[in-house]
């Protein structure tokens, strides 16, 4: 899958049709410097926190932009006190 196709896949992702954690693993595989900038924390109070730090990579910034274009994923986003990270609350079912 090309980069543009992958970004379109993110924009069209629907958690009612696909397992969100399988989806997130696919995103992690494409994330540059995933050990640093892609953290999926333990479940707490019915949610897992996904922390994305884009660094200087344009591909990471494009992934975050695609997350924001996705209706489902954009609703899971919440504000961080750190301007260099983007946080999402992923419900655990």
Q: Where residue 47 falls among pLDDT bands split at 50, 70, 90? A: very high
Helices and strands (H, E) in the chain, number of each type: 5, 4
Instruction: Check residue 85 and give its pLDDT.
Output: 85
Is 90 exceeded by the pLDDT of residue 70? yes
Instruction: Check residue 57 and give its pLDDT.
Output: 80
Compute the average pLDDT of residues 60-86: 87
- Name the average pLDDT for the chain: 90
> What angle, 0 to 180 degrees and rounded to 10, lies between the N-to-C axes of helices 58-69 and 3-12?
30
pTM: 0.87
Instruction: Check residue 5 and give its pLDDT.
Output: 96
**How many Å from the N-terminal Cα to the C-terminal Cα in the chain?**
29
Would you call 57 helix, strand, or coil by DSSP? coil
Compute the average pLDDT of residues 40-45: 88
H helix intervals, 1-93: 3-12, 20-30, 34-37, 58-69, 71-76
């Amino acid at each position: 899958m090309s980069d543009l196709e992958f970004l379109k896949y993110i924009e069209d992702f629907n958690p009612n049709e696909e397992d969100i954690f399988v989806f997130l693993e696919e995103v992690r595989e494409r994330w540059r410097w995933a050990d640093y900038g892609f953290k999926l924390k333990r479940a707490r109070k019915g949610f897992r926190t996904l922390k994305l730090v884009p660094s200087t990579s344009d591909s990471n910034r494009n992934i975050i932009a695609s997350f924001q274009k996705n209706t489902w994923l954009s609703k899971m986003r919440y504000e961080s006190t750190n301007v260099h990270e983007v946080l999402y609350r992923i419900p655990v079912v």
